[in-house]
C-alpha cells in the first residue's frame, strides 16, 4: 500500500463517452502528477499540480481535462477520446514544493481502453 | 534518440544470480531515479541519487556523473524481483522543475 489510490482500476469507454479518473493520496503531500504509460513507450508526464495550482501541462490535448480541488485529490476528466489514448494512467504525489528531486509515490494506475 | 537509454531491454536470470541493469543519459542532471514496476502497473521508487552509491537490502545503485551512467545491481536475485526497472533523470538545464525524463525500462525475469 503506497498511500496513493486510483479508481477505477480498469475502464473501457467508447469514443463519445465522458468519464473521469480519480486519484487520492493519504500522505499529506502537496504536489500531484498525472502520467501516461503507453505500450513500448516511456512514461510521459501529463500534468502537475502543486498546492492545487497547475504548474505543468505537457502539451496534453484538451480532451484530457485535469481538476485538483485540494492537495489530496486529483481528477482526470476524459471526453471524446481516441483509440490511441488507450494506456495506463498513473497518478503520483510528492512532498514539499514538488521538486522533482523528491521521491515520487505512485498509485496502482487505471488501465484505460478506448474502443 | 531518447535522452535516457537503458540496457538490456530484457533480461532473464536464474535465482541467485547477480544482476546489473544499466542506464545512460545524454544531458546534465540534478538527480537520477530508479523505479520498479510490477505486473499490474504499480510503480515503486527504489532510489534517488545524485552522486556515489546507495544500498537498500539486496539492491545497490551507483552513478557516475562524469560518464553520465548509472547501474542498478541486484544481489542473490529471487523470482519476486521479476519486474520492469525504470531509470529516470531530472535534467539540469531548462525545462520544468517537475519534469522527469524516463527510460523505456528493463524487463527482468528471474526463474526459480
CB-nearest partner of A56 from B44, B45, B99: B99
Q: What is the pLDDT of residues A98-114, one digit of tens each?
A: 566 678 899 999 999 99
Q: For residue B99, what pLDDT is reported?
A: 78
| Residue that has been written with the C-alpha cell 480541488 in this structure | A69
Instruction: Convert the pLDDT of each residue in B31-46 to its tens digit.
Output: 899 999 998 778 999 9
In angstroms, the Cα distances linking A56 to A35, A53, B95 are 12, 9, 10
Cα A111 to Cα A96: distance, rounded to the nearest angstrom: 29
* A56/B98 touch (CB, cutoff 8 Å), yes or no: yes
Q: How near does any CA of chain B get to the CA of A79, in Å?
A: 23
* Candidates B1, B31, B43, partner chain A, best to mutate (most A CBs within 10 A): B43
Q: Is the pLDDT of residue A1 over 60?
A: no
Q: Check CB contact of B13 with chain A, cutoff 8 Å.
A: no
Interface check for A60 against chain B (CB to CB < 8 A): the answer is no
Between A and B, how many CB-CB pairs are < 8 A?
A: 72
Report H helices in chain B: none
Q: Among A17-26, A28-37, B47-56, B86-95, which stretch is predicted with the lowest mean pLDDT?
A: B86-95
Q: Which grid cell is B38?
A: 510490477
Chain A: residue whose CA lies nearest to B104: A42
Contacts A103 to B, Cβ<8 Å: 33, 45, 48
pLDDT band at B94 (very low <50, low <70, confident <90, very high): low
Q: Say what the pLDDT of residue A52 is.
A: 87
- Predicted pLDDT of residue A99: 62
pLDDT value of position B96: 62
Q: What is the sign of the dihedral through the CA atoms of B54, B24, B64 and B78?
A: positive
Binned at pLDDT 50, 70 and 90, residue A50 comes out as confident
How far does B59 lie from chain A, in Å, by closest CA?
17
Please state which of the ranges B14-23, B83-92, B93-102 shows the lowest mean pLDDT. Answer: B93-102
- What are the pLDDT digits (tens) for A12-46? 999 888 999 999 999 999 899 999 999 888 999 99
Mean pLDDT of the region B44-69: 95
Amino acid at each position: 500500500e503506497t498511500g496513493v489510490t486510483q479508481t477505477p482500476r480498469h475502464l473501457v469507454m467508447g469514443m463519445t463517452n465522458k468519464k473521469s479518473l480519480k486519484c487520492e493520496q493519504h500522505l499529506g503531500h502537496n504536489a500531484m502528477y498525472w502520467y501516461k504509460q503507453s505500450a513500448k513507450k516511456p512514461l510521459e508526464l501529463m500534468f502537475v499540480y502543486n498546492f492545487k495550482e497547475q504548474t505543468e501541462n505537457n502539451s496534453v490535448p484538451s480532451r484530457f481535462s485535469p481538476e485538483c480541488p485540494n492537495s489530496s485529490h486529483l481528477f482526470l476528466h476524459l471526453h471524446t477520446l481516441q483509440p490511441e489514448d488507450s494506456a495506463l494512467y498513473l497518478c503520483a504525489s510528492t512532498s514539499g514544493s514538488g521538486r522533482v528531486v523528491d521521491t515520487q509515490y505512485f498509485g496502482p494506475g487505471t488501465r484505460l481502453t478506448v474502443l | 534518440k531518447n535522452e535516457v537509454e537503458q540496457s538490456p531491454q530484457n533480461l532473464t536470470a536464474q535465482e541467485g544470480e547477480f544482476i546489473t541493469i544499466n542506464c545512460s543519459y545524454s544531458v546534465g542532471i540534478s538527480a537520477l531515479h530508479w523505479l520498479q514496476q510490477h505486473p499490474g502497473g504499480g510503480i515503486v521508487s527504489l532510489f534517488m541519487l545524485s552522486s556515489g552509491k546507495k544500498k537498500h537490502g539486496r539492491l545497490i545503485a551507483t552513478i557516475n556523473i562524469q560518464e553520465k551512467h548509472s547501474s542498478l545491481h541486484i544481489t542473490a536475485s529471487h523470482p519476486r524481483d521479476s519486474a520492469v526497472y525504470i531509470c529516470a533523470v531530472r535534467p539540469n538545464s531548462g525545462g520544468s522543475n517537475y519534469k522527469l525524463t524516463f527510460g523505456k525500462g528493463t524487463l527482468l525475469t528471474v526463474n526459480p
